[in-house]
Structure 1
Amino acid sequence: MQLDHSFTVPADPDDAWKLFQDLDRVAPCMPGAVLDTHDGDSFTGRVKVKVGAVQMSYRGEGTVTRDPAARSMLLDLSGSETRGAGTASATVTATLTLDPAGTLVRVRTDLDITGRPAQFGRGIMTEVGDRIVQQFAARLEELLRDAGPAASGVFTTGAAENRQGRLAPEPEAIDLGAAALPVLLRKAAAPAAAVLFAVVVIQALRRRSPR
């Protein structure tokens, strides 16, 4: 499954590129995710998602390859459910270019997922992806606007702890059910309307039929 997204951040491409190379600062901006360890171009982390009353946690690893000249980075990611047989792997390419509003970030994701989330299909996964990217972009914008030294100190401390192999706090689950609900309703609208129409017709025929 291939997903394409884009968003802008209020910074020039050089500053945005420097931020994107700092995984210890960028990773906390991703909803439902936490970075556990980071060593050079390799890292490990966890993702927690929720679909209604069902909650799923993934543990995985990844590598990052950077192309400074093109301001492009490639992430190879793989993971599996901590309690379940589901797996997920993705190749994510992010490219930064100049934009009148700052920097345009284009993200292409080639996703392969098994287990319960795979039942949603492309339409719902695209909708969910759009909402996750919107939250990610909003947090990145907040991070870029926050020039205070206190925030940098917090991130630096967290990065040091991760390099020492200490697990970060448990991530807060992102609710995919809430994100997917509008799509589910749209997909169900036509069948529901057909059923409602049939019920109305049957009731009308019953009223007209002689007793």
Structure 2
Amino acid sequence: MKLEHRFTVPAPAPDVWAALLEPEKVAPCMPGATLTGVDGRTFTGTVKVKLGPVTLLYKGTGEFTSVDERVHAAVLKASGKDTRGNGTASASVSVALTSAVGGTEVSVVTDLNVTGRPAQLGRSLISEVSGRLIAEFAECLATRLAPAEAERVTPTETAARPHLRAVPDEPLDLVGTAGVPVLKRVLPVAAGLLAVVLLVRKLRGRHR
């Protein structure tokens, strides 16, 4: 499936570009993701996903297959597999930056292929979940690109930060992230079923 998103980061395009090309900077902004290694334009990592009562752990690799410094555009390809064999995920992500009023506009086009349990969410829910995650990612990235003087990080805090992100305690909750959209789909169905049950009971009462 193809997903398209746009967001604006209140920082100059060169700063946003440099950050997006550094997995160590962007990985902490992706819910459930942990960066485990970087080798040039290739990196490895894991993504922990919660789908209802089931928690999935995807292990995979990613690589910047195309990087155009002149126009600030790049293509990232990544793939992963659940460690318990419950599904796979692969994506080709095209990113393009343009200067905008107040910062930089980021365009993200994703060709996503998901198999297994997460695919049961359906296209519309996956689209809604990805939109919320992109919004959270944009907010996190904007915070990280804030002027250095605004962060006021002490030497002790700097020394305590690991080079790679530690394994997160909380997985990415797909259903929880969808939130209201899920309820909007479930409630009408539940109401319809309730109406059918009441109608059947009423008809049975008439025939007694």
Alignment of 1:96-175 (within 5 A): 96-147=97-148, 148=151, 150=153, 154=158, 158-159=162-163, 168-171=165-168, 172-175=170-173
What is the CA–CA distance in structure 2 between the aligned matches of 1:175 and 1:37, rounded to whole Å?
24
Counterpart residue number, 2:61: 61
Paired positions, count: 203
What is the CA–CA distance in structure 1 between the aligned matches of 2:6 and 2:111, rounded to whole Å?
15
**Residues 123 and 183, structure 1, Cα contact 8 Å, conserved in 2:** no
**Residues 175 and 182, structure 2, Cα contact 8 Å, conserved in 1:** no
What is the CA–CA distance in structure 1 between the aligned matches of 2:153 and 2:203, rounded to whole Å?
73
Percent identity between the aligned chains? 42
What is the CA–CA distance in structure 1 between the aligned matches of 2:207 and 2:21, rounded to whole Å?
77
Q: Deviations over 1:131-164 (max 9, x none)?
A: 1111111111110115157489949x744xx5xx
Equivalent residue letter for 1:170: V
Q: Which is further off, 92-101 or 176-185?
A: 176-185
1:183 equivalent in alignment to 2:181: yes
What CA RMSD, in Å, does the superposition of the two structures yield over aligned residues?
Answer: 2.6
Shift of 1:202: 4.5
**Structure 1: gaps of 5 or more residues:** 163-167
Counterpart residue number, 2:79: 78
TM-score w.r.t. the length of structure 1 is 0.84
Q: Deviations over 1:83-121 (max 9, x none)?
A: 224111100111111222311111111111111101111
Counterpart residue number, 1:12: 12
What is the CA–CA distance in structure 2 between the aligned matches of 1:54 and 1:137, rounded to whole Å?
28
Judged with a 3 Å threshold, the aligned counterparts in structure 2 of structure 1 residues 193 and 75 are, in CA distance, closer, same or farther, namely same
**Residues 42 and 61, structure 1, Cα contact 8 Å, conserved in 2:** yes
**Residues 24 and 158, structure 1, Cα contact 8 Å, conserved in 2:** no
Equivalent residue letter for 1:49: V
**Residues 5 and 134, structure 2, Cα contact 8 Å, conserved in 1:** yes
**Residues 93 and 110, structure 2, Cα contact 8 Å, conserved in 1:** yes
Shift of 1:19: 1.8
Counterpart residue number, 2:89: 88
Equivalent residue letter for 2:101: P
Shift of 1:53: 2.1
Equivalent residue letter for 2:29: C
Equivalent residue letter for 1:27: A
**Residues 43 and 63, structure 1, Cα contact 8 Å, conserved in 2:** yes
Equivalent residue letter for 2:167: E
Counterpart residue number, 1:165: none
Higher helix share: 1
What is the CA–CA distance in structure 1 between the aligned matches of 2:3 and 2:146, rounded to whole Å?
28
What is the CA–CA distance in structure 2 between the aligned matches of 1:210 and 1:38, rounded to whole Å?
72
Equivalent residue letter for 2:2: Q
**Residues 29 and 140, structure 1, Cα contact 8 Å, conserved in 2:** yes
Shift of 1:2: 0.9
